[in-house]
């Protein structure tokens, strides 16, 4: 049963800045068990297309049909249940229950199936994804990779005709991504797959690639042809960095392949003479609090407290140098970043800036989804918030904010007076980063800045970092994708289970390149 | 850029790490081809009461779900393995009882029983203290309004006709004790049941109302989502607080009450935006999962045991007896 989408046109969606967007005349066909990739820059209409197929967006015209079985308005609600199943980017906001079994069974419970049949379907889906041992676990205790596998199991349990994946790997590290891919590969099915992706390695074995731009299909062909087409990768924002396979998951292999040299393991920085201008952690250990039993919050977080405790961390960041802190989810990277920014007090040891204890506000820190910190009604006021907290007068703070906006590639004339909540996702992230850079602190820490960025976003991020380095500011990037920063970084620490396991330095030639 | 009150700020911080909810993948997220399987995976037909024992994380499991993680397993909990509906009904009836009893001795007895239960269920005394202190302003207002008299009948004169009445003070303290006992009883409920079990229990109790047109299915899902949102909101709040502190914001540190309230704006606006986004995402998720609120199949329909009925019956009768006669 092939899926045919003909002349699909959605109603225009108008943003708060007055820009109208609509999918226009989209035509494509997906054969049974076929795999189609949707690519395109942020805002090109990929997610809108999936939502149109799901029936959650009104169509002006066009048809969606499996062979000659049109999904008209009357069957739309049942089509949601039986024909398509959807997996999004963030499992946390797609879960509507508390346990794995309930989550997988939720959609099935909305059909007229008998409970025994539902349980059988749940079992099949769990086995297909290799997570039958998680059946009775609370969702809040699962890792990112496990959560996404639960989402996929919930989709497979519906036995849909087509699976719709909206960047299901974007929030996972390489290890979890490999596990989820393996689960998908082992699932033998006649189901078609339509997947949005920003990475070529995820879709290299797909049957066809559809490139979207401003709501139109601008190119359609095989992955091989896609790569051969000059300039298409750049135009669609597809990242063509090589896929990290299971065998090459070790950071050692990834760094040595890129020509980096090992500088020894933990504590290799200990005993060095302290430089004048340096952000460093000395013998830092940290044990997180465990939530009390009886608190409604006790189910919120994992009980594996020891997995993100830090032990005897020695680390230093120099001015005008990009340092990487790499490690898988749960290794303690963000906790260490908070200690270095003075936001968490280590249980032992200390974090120092120029030999003095770090205080909140003295080191810039941008968390993942940094755009969540925006709160003022005007872009310029939000960026000036930090400088004003540091004691600058409003006029001076606004001047500093204007410079910071320029550093992130936004023009204060065009953007300064806009409401940050009306901007696009990429623009919001830039404004929020400008708010951090405007602190004019000599050291800046960025936590997983590449999450959810397409190639254009990565490019502008690297440009911002280059600008910071040029100003003589030291930058620490916390990431699980060190390859993105190989061109700028000079030093990397590998954090594993709360310890610095290794340290690498880039060859000078590599840095210059 | 040194901030004032740095030490006190630090004390407030909890682990904000978004990865808190994601333990080490190297340890827990194994590939399907290499991972060790749990031998005793319960089958789909395993009775609900058995599944709790087989489930890896919940020794108190009673219903069809397993959501609670306790820091350490407590053998004593086996004695409290009652259906969540029983806990729910008992908490409600004894809360009403606490509001209606007139004898301080009876209220003290209620307090004692609730405290013992709370401790035996593994509840933290620190959490109990914090929960009771949360309503500190309310207690103070109740005591002051009950104790102050302005008609010259006070036992201790303050200014003019204003004075303090010992009877009023005792009445205010008794009212506070009633409110506090409800807090303790609620904590017992959260210790005894997982959030999922509470949600299921309420759904089960509301289900009969569905026959007269009450939207029991909608309420159940709304409650489940609300319970899921609480930890999500708290984690988001902690992250935003960290982010704003890193920008030099001194949230809640000012002694000036107006400034203190205003200092929370950088926290509350992003939180509201994030919660609206969550709400949108949840709504989308519900719609793609075909949720309509009607004709949902109940996966965990299970009957209460004889012990559950017995405990519920005796408990309700005891509560009614205390409320009427004491």
For A54-87, what is each residue's pLDDT tens digit? 888 888 888 888 876 666 544 444 444 568 899 9
The residues pairing with A195 across neighbouring beta strands, listed in sequence order, are A37, A165
Contact A274, A351 (CB under 8 A): no
Q: Please indicate whether, in this complex, the C-beta atoms of A497 and B24 are within 8 angstroms of each other.
A: yes
Residue A20, chain B, CB below 8 Å: the answer is no
- What span, in angstroms and rounded, lies between the C-alpha atoms of A132 and A101? 10
Interface membership of B127 toward A (CB under 8 Å) = yes
Q: Which pLDDT score, from 0 to 100, does residue A265 have?
A: 61
The pLDDT, as a whole number, for residue A187 is: 63
Q: Which of A236-240, A384-388, B17-21, B223-227 has the lowest mean pLDDT?
A: B17-21
Q: What is the pLDDT of residue A123?
A: 93
Contact A334 B191 (CB under 8 A): no
Beta-bridged to residue A199, according to DSSP, are A239
What is the helix, strand, coil percentage profile of chain B, to 5? 65, 5, 35
The token pair at A423 is: 């901007």
Tell me whether B228 touches chain A (CB under 8 Å): yes
| Backbone angle region of B277, left / alpha / beta, with phi > 0 → left and psi within -120 to 50 → alpha | alpha
Is B248 an 8 Å CB contact of chain A?
yes
- Rounded CA-CA distance B61/B47 in Å is 12
CA distance A226 to chain B (A): 31
Q: Is B24 in contact with A246 (Cβ distance < 8 A)?
A: no
Sort out which chain A residues have CB atoms less than 8 A from B37's CB and list them.
132-133
Does residue B273 belong to the interface with chain A, where contact is any CB pair within 8 Å? yes
Q: Is A140 helix (H, G, I), strand (E, B) or coil?
A: helix
CA pair distance A215, B111, nearest whole angstrom: 64
Interface test with A, best of B20, B47, B76 (most A CBs within 10 A): B20
What are the CA-CA distances from residue B121 to residues A292, B156, B254 (Å)? 12, 44, 39
Which ipTM value was assigned to this complex? 0.83
* Cβ-contact A164, A87 below 8 angstroms: yes
Tokens of residue B5, six digits: 């009150």
Residues of chain B with pLDDT under 70: 1-80
Bridge partner residues of A443 (DSSP): A474
User: Residue A295 and residue A279: Cα distance in Å, rounded?
Assistant: 37
Q: How confident is the model at residue A401 (pLDDT cuts 50, 70, 90)?
A: very high
Chain B contact for A368 (CB, 8 A cutoff): yes
Given CB atoms, is A370 within the 8 Å cutoff of chain B? yes
Q: Are strands A499-505 and A261-262 parallel, antiparallel or unpaired?
A: antiparallel
> SS3 of B227, please?
helix
A130 φ, ψ to 5°? Answer: 70, 35
Q: Are A417 and A379 in contact (CB under 8 A)?
A: yes
In which band, very low, low, confident or very high, does the pLDDT at A139 lie, cut at 50, 70 and 90? confident
- Say yes or no: B63 contacts chain A, CB-CB below 8 A: no
- Per-residue confidence (pLDDT) for residue A282, from 0 to 100: 86
Of A191-205, A428-442, B144-158, the range with the highest mean pLDDT is A428-442
* Residue A71 confidence (pLDDT): 65
**How far apart are the C-alpha atoms of A305 and A288, rounded to whole Å?**
6
The backbone torsions φ and ψ at residue B271, rounded to the nearest 5 degrees and listed phi first, read -65, -45
Interface touch B243/A109, C-beta < 8 Å: no
Q: Look at B16 and A101; give whichever has higher pLDDT.
A: A101
Answer whether A343 sits within 8 Å of B29, measured CB to CB.
no
Residue among B44, B236, B247 whose CB faces A436 most closely: B247
Nearest CA of chain B to the CA of A227: how many Å?
30
- Contacts of residue A282, Cβ cutoff 8 Å, sequence gap at least 6: A270, A314, A349, A350, A351, A352
State the nearest Cα–Cα gap between A22 and chain B, in angstroms.
Answer: 19
**In this structure, are strands A216-221 and A261-262 parallel, antiparallel, or unpaired?**
unpaired
- Count of CB atoms within 10 A of residue A239's CB? 21
Count of pairs with CB atoms under 8 A, one residue in A, one in B: 370
Question: By CA distance, what is A331's nearest residue in B?
Answer: B24
Q: Among A132, A300, A360, whose Cβ lies nearest the Cβ of B9?
A: A360
Could you report the per-residue pLDDT of B145-189, keeping only the tens digit for each?
988 888 878 788 778 888 888 888 999 999 999 999 999 999 998
Is the pTM higher than 0.90? no
Looking at the partner chain, which of A129, A335, A360 has a beta carbon nearest the beta carbon of B17?
A: A335
Task: Report residue A304's pLDDT band, with 50, 70 and 90 as the boundaries.
Answer: very low
Q: Which domains does chain A show, CATH number per domain?
A: 3-236 (3.40.50.300), 251-363+441-512 (3.40.50.300)
Give the chain B residue whose CA is nearest to the CA of A77. Answer: B290
CA distance A490 to A167: 31
């Amino acid at each position: 049963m092939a899926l045919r989408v003909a002349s699909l046109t959605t109603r225009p969606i108008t943003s708060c800045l007055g820009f109208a967007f609509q999918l226009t005349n989209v035509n494509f066909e997906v054969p049974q068990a076929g795999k189609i990739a949707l690519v395109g820059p942020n805002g090109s209409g990929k997610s809108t297309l999936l939502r149109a197929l799901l029936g959650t967006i009104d169509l002006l015209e066009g048809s969606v049909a499996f062979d000659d079985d049109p999904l008209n308005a009357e069957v739309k609600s049942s089509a949601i249940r039986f024909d398509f199943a959807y997996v999004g980017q963030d499992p946390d906001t797609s879960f509507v229950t508390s346990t794995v079994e309930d989550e997988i069974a939720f959609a099935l419970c909305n059909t007229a199936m008998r409970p025994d049949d539902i349980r059988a379907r749940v079992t099949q889906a769990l086995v297909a994804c290799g997570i039958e041992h998680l059946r009775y676990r609370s969702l809040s205790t699962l890792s990112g990779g496990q959560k996404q596998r639960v989402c996929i199991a919930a989709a497979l349990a519906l036995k849909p005709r087509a699976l719709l994946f909206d960047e299901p790997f974007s929030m996972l590290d390489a290890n979890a991504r490999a596990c989820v891919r393996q689960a998908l590969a082992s699932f033998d099915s006649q189901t078609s797959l339509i997947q949005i992706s920003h990475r070529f390695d995820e879709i290299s074995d797909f049957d066809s690639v559809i490139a979207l731009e401003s709501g139109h299909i601008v190119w359609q062909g095989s992955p091989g042809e896609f790569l051969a087409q000059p300039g298409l990768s750049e135009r669609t924002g597809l990242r063509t960095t090589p896929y990290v396979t299971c065998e090459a998951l070790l950071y050692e292999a990834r760094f040595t392949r890129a020509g980096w040299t090992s500088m020894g393991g933990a504590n290799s920085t200990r005993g060095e003479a302290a430089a004048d201008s340096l952000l460093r952690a000395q013998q830092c250990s940290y044990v997180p609090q465990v939530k009390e039993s009886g608190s409604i919050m006790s189910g919120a977080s994992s009980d594996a407290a020891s997995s993100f405790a830090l032990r005897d961390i020695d680390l230093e960041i120099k001015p005008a140098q990009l340092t990487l802190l790499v490690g898988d989810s749960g290794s303690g990277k963000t906790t260490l970043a908070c200690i270095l920014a003075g936001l968490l007090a280590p249980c032992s040891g200390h974090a120092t800036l120029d030999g003095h204890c770090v205080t909140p506000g003295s080191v810039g820190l941008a968390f993942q989804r940094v755009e969540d910190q925006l709160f003022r009604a005007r872009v310029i006021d939000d960026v000036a918030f930090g400088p004003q907290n540091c004691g600058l007068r409003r006029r001076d703070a606004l001047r500093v904010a204007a410079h910071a906006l320029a550093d992130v590639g936004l023009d204060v004339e065009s953007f300064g007076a806009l409401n940050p909540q009306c901007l696009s996702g990429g623009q919001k992230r830039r404004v929020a980063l400008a708010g951090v850079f405007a602190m004019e602190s000599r050291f800046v820490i960025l936590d997983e800045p590449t999450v959810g960025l397409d190639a254009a976003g990565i490019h502008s991020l690297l440009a911002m970092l280059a600008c910071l380095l040029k100003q003589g500011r030291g930058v620490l990037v916390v990431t699980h994708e060190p390859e993105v920063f190989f061109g700028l970084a000079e030093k990397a620490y590998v954090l594993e289970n709360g310890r610095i396991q290794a340290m690498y330095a880039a060859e000078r030639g590599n840095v210059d390149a | 850029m040194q901030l004032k009150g740095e030490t006190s700020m630090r004390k407030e911080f909890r682990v904000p790490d978004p990865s808190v909810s994601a333990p080490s993948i190297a340890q827990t997220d194994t590939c399907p081809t290499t991972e060790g399987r749990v031998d005793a995976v319960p089958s789909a037909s395993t009775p609900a009461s058995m599944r709790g024992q087989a489930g890896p994380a919940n020794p108190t499991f009673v219903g069809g779900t397993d959501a609670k993680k306790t820091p350490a397993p407590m053998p004593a909990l086996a004695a409290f393995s009652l259906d969540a509906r029983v806990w729910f009904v008992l908490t409600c009836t004894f809360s009403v009882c606490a509001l209606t009893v007139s004898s301080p001795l009876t209220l003290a007895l209620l307090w004692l029983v609730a405290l013992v239960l709370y401790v035996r269920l593994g509840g933290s005394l620190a959490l109990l203290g914090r929960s009771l202190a949360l309503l500190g302003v309310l207690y103070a207002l109740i005591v002051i309004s009950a104790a102050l008299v302005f008609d010259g009948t006070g036992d201790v004169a303050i200014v003019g006709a204003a004075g303090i009445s010992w009877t009023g003070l005792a009445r205010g303290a008794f009212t506070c004790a009633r409110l506090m006992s409800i807090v303790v009883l609620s904590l017992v409920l959260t210790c005894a049941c997982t959030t999922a079990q509470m949600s299921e229990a309420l759904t089960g109790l509301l289900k009969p109302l569905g026959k007269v047109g009450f939207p029991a299915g909608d309420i159940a899902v709304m409650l489940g989502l609300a319970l899921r949102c609480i930890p999500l909101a708290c984690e988001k709040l902690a992250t935003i607080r960290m982010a704003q502190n890193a920008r030099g914001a001194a949230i809640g540190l000012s002694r000036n009450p107006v400034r203190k309230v205003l200092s929370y704006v950088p926290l509350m606006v992003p939180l509201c935006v994030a919660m609206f986004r969550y709400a949108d995402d949840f709504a989308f998720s519900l719609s793609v999962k075909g949720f309509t609120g009607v004709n949902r199949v109940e996966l965990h329909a299970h009957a209460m045991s004889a012990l559950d009925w017995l405990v519920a019956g005796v408990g309700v009768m005891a509560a009614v007896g205390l409320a009427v006669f004491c």
